[in-house]
Structure 1
């Protein structure tokens, strides 16, 4: 990959930071101050905490660390330390009220644009090289925007957000259920993507045996068949911890679904509507995804299998940035960036297919994989251990591919997400895989 010129990097950083801030403003201006300060779920922070946390992280990394300037509000650092205060306790903190939080974030942003204008990237160290710190902060804000969108999904009351529906599925005929991914080596991870985060690095070779993977994510219609067959009542399909979870909480369907009048309905951002059978299933835990796969006589793909299906080009042997190639995502490729408030129908976005024909690997729904969140060979924590390293281990499962709620700056073929296997409020779905018969 050719190194971008300094001015191009600055422009890319300005665009990414501006787009993130516009989305933050949308998510925090569509509700009143009472809703900003309320905790809509113990799983999530009050929206006003996220707003000030975004400004505080920007101040710490770009104003202080990159700009070398004195702290603007050092006294609030502990309030917005995500590791010091669990989400459930944040409403009890003396948080900045909405108007002050907005003013603080805006003040920091104005100063940061001046820092960026005067920055020099060559030879300035790894934090600044290729404008990494600015890209990291843009990704951080977009990740919190996704978190705030989850909070909007959890809040009760009338809709506060709106967006057009995704485009209709291309009517090019039925798709094959699965795609064969040939075995052999491929390059996993990256050492070249300038804004890749530490857990995506370094690039390394993985050898993956041949396997089949679903052409599209598992749909609501397919998941309804699992439910109708007693999937939530049959212990055979469940990991022991998952079985205990659904029994304890009387779970019988994806989160936000309810059965009424002989049909399944879902609540999405304040709107109750029938479950659309052709959409990818959403708001399922890893345990639910794993149980469905077992019921279907299949399994979840490993993280390496998922990335090979998404990036490997058998014709050239190289790994692409995205399934469709190296070009940045556009509306023809994937459902990203909160352009829509839900996934598109399974089989959509033929322009985003992989070389082997696998669709919707990027966008629509985060996809659970079978893999624990572990470091790659040669991993080095950067710029701080708390971004990835403290989460490594069997407690967290890897999700790949992004969702409709993810901005393109925080989504690529190498991007790794992770969460606890019980999580259901996230925008998570899955696809299944199976071993290929040896020849």
Structure 2
């Protein structure tokens, strides 16, 4: 058989983290039991678990996949690409400097490369083997993955396109993800990436820790921030295609390859709560001050990965989207600060309000644990003298990956010509203004 359904079908289903069910053929989902003696259409039942079997019900993530062949039908693994220095998994062995760091965007590839070939690690924290922390990667690509499929056993993937759209073909169905949107692929989920609009560039966070979820709202109440209803999940769309394919995986920090004689995206129906999803960041309902003072940036948290300490995240995914600023008698840009949490930032589009020069779309910055940072000289002077009328921050979208763990830039990140070695000079000219 060579059957592929190319339609991209999305559903809000029941919102973030809830149980979903979808079938590409009528009656493909068994009724009344997950693993009947005989599955409709001659399919195989396979459970896909993103958490331990005994995880509490509220945190348990698993889906039942009803597929044409079980996943065990594949070849043996062997190492893929002997030089794997581009992709790193923490912890790093080399020293980590406390410097404030910033990088120019990664250029688009000058030779053919798919998204896996175009990955390069800029920073890591924690330990993938111990299942805490994260890896931060940059990606560029100019061709689709074609006969190649991939999964990551080290962590779930948070994809943030900056230029160009990604068509994610996954075991659960298809997601088209554009700049201004994000996609999350569960740990171990098989997928391929096509490029429907040409070359792409963006960011990738590989979460080694607890799966990303929505943060609590606290006194904000029942609505606001990222709302459950706005997360989209794919509907089942199977590929019954035979041929010479390869399955790549990232396992314990290394890349491996196995031959496979069919497309592994052959799931005809699925039900559960562990599946890839996408979210349009423009749907984030921003909360902020309507009186005075600049609140903590945690009010912009979209997704969080908890650690073993309440309120201290393994990973927070935070955005700085278009919004109104109305606070009175207030220094409106981010204030100068030092933070026990480490902060990696990227820019999807426009200008970030604390850095109007040098931090450009596709660029990155790292302000590590207790490294001071804040507005550059020009921003400080302008904001200190500004007439505080209501102001619309528009045509801007920055993000931050914040972690309780020290973020270690890779050797490539420290040595690359993309590193802005004069970054610290943006604060030159901040003079003493003390008038006792």
- Structure 1-normalised TM-score? 0.26
More helix per residue: 1 or 2? Answer: 1
Higher relative contact order (CA 8 A, sep 6+): 2
Larger-Rg structure: 2
Higher strand content, 1 or 2: 2
